[in-house]
Amino acid sequence: MAYNFKDREITKISVIGAGQIGPDIALHFAKSLSPFGVVINVIDISPEALEKAKAKAHKKIQKGLESGAFKPELAEKIKNALVFSADYENVRGSQIVVEAATEDENIKDKIFRQVESLTDDKCIYLSNSSHMQPEVIFRNIKNKSRSLVAHYFFPAEINLVVELVPGKETDADLVNLLLGFYEAIGKVPIKVKSSYGYAIDPVFEGICQTAIMCLEKGWGTEKEIDTAAVKSLGLGIGPFTALNLTGGNPITAHGLDELGKLVMPWFKTPNILHEKNKSKELWNTAQRGEKVELSPEKEEKLVKEFQGAFFALTSFILDLDIVDINDFNMACEMSLVIRAPFSFMNKVGIDKSYGLVKDFCATHPTFTFPKILDKAKAAGVWKLQDIIATKLDGVCVLTIRRPKVLNALNLEVLGQIKNELENVKNDDSVKAVVITGFGTKAFVSGADLNMLASLKTPEEGYNNSHTFQSVLNYVESFAKPVVCAMNGFAFGGGNELAMSCTARICKKGLPVLVCQPEVNLGFIPGAGGTQRLPRIVGVEKAAEILRTARNVSAKEAAEIGLVYKEVEGDLVDEAVKFAKQIASGDVKVKTIPQDAISTNGNPIQLEIGHLSKKIDEIIVKAIYEGSHLSLKDGLELESRMFGECLLTEDMKIGLENFKSNGPKAKANFIHK
């Protein structure tokens, strides 16, 4: 057995280093690739380290089994896929080697020179360095075109972000291959140009430096400074707590000194951090559940300092021109569990953010004021995109990339889709468009529920629905074919977007492809679901799916005509071919009827269980009365019916239940 990706067949991956992060990297590979029979080696010269790594991995597998994250069969495959060995000969036959050893250039050099003697020219070499440039790590490798840094974040089997850092001689096609490969196995990779510390670690270490400097100035205790950092930046945990949990004092101290030499003089290891390293003491942080109070004056000073530092650090990284702003904005949020910096600055206001950085740089004269902030101030906003637009063989591929919320839609994302379509409308080199989602789990998980929860009146509901519909109507009426490549499940607004496309294809074998879950939450679809689904699969089948909120598999979706076909190979490649066939007229697909459609009479009787009878009345009216109208008038009816949901108690109950208890908990509707 093997895992096949593009032109690569993978049967063995070796991870060298059984310390803190190597076993976690191996565990992620095993979780993703063990079902395909891929062997994951963990190599280390220390038998003791290997035993600890094995115990750690097995403990995490058992925990996943007990929590229900793994089924017993998968847990057994993961365990069997992991091989722990002190014998470097086991590296032979590997298609990928990941080095996760000590942050020492001589050790890394020695490892890769040994690995090169054991592997063929096609083997990919990755170093999980946190700082060192690939030109340094791979300086003695004969074939540098297949080597680059793959920087994981703690904990590596859970944290989704991976920085891919190519060297000067790294093959560009290999970088693109790895971007796709990591996405396919569930990670969120970003490309970063070679620079000491890359893009994200200077931000984390700069925040740690800021915290320690505040401590040295007597602005608060470790507990107080941690608390202020969390409040001001939306951190999951404070910087002192993070250093304790990751054992990060030594690597942060080394990293700060090197950043000061190679990147900017402001970076410097504070004396207290040097002392902590020598004494091996932990920082004095709050215990779980301990509440730390801050005086208003202390909090104001610390918040200003942290926000000034954060905005300055992230803007400075952009000044280095090593990373795309959208990649960086997303990856900071996900890897560091912190507010997305440029979205945060937009929310705070560019003028205020600019002032915070100005003040920070004034009190830290060795911190170079980022020039890019002048451009942002002039523009009045950081321009950010959640849509990745690429051209592939005459087809524009639009990828919705919001991995933190499984590509959920909001009005801003819909606006970006429309803008991208407008950009290619008159481009004769573009024959068709493909819309897909980032990752392997979700095409689009639905509409952003925070946006829906903010609606208060029927008029607001109507306007929200109407705005969503206007964009999807634009997609439906676009002059060029638009194919939806459903890479994962499409819930709610995701399925409504898919249905507005010319045609849909999906990944084969998905047990859950489509669901319109709105009635579970106490409202009805508002972006065309009650009108387009009946026109695609028939009124009775659509009514049953819409009124019960049940899941539809990929197989059933193909059988009832919701998707054109299931695809086994590369979904986007197949979508591009399909879109070109539609554009050329070689393939004809059914279009959605614009006129009234026939029904079998009265609504079918359905058992809806705990679901709201009041909402069911509204959705039945939208479906059946809408079927007697043109699509245009049916959509208008749907918007009015969606607005009517806001008059019900059950919509409030449904949304609050989801917010408090999650999607699996049944709401206690009162049918009013």
DSSP category for residue 157: T
What residues does 442 pair with on adjacent strands?
Answer: 489
**CA-CA-CA-CA torsion for 454, 457, 459, 464, nearest 10 degrees?**
20
Shortest CA distance to 643 belongs to which of 496, 452, 494, 493? 452
Residue 668, phi then psi, degrees to nearest 5 = -90, 75
Cis peptide before 155 (omega within 30 of 0): yes
What is the Cα–Cα distance from 270 to 409, expressed in whole angstroms? 44
Residue 71, phi then psi, degrees to nearest 5 = -80, 155
Shortest CA distance to 138 belongs to which of 105, 176, 90, 180? 105
Q: The tokens 């229900």 sit on which residue?
A: 68
The DSSP bridge pattern shows strands 8-10 and 3-5 to be: antiparallel
CA distances from 355 to 9, 309, 363, 418, 626 (A): 53, 12, 13, 34, 54
Which tokens hold the place of 427?
């481009």
List residues with catalytic annotation.
496, 518
Which tokens hold the place of 189?
């990779």
Shortest CA distance to 334 belongs to which of 154, 552, 503? 154
Shortest CA distance to 83 belongs to which of 140, 116, 38? 38
Rg, Å, the chain Cα set:
27
- The one-letter amino acid code at 9 reads E
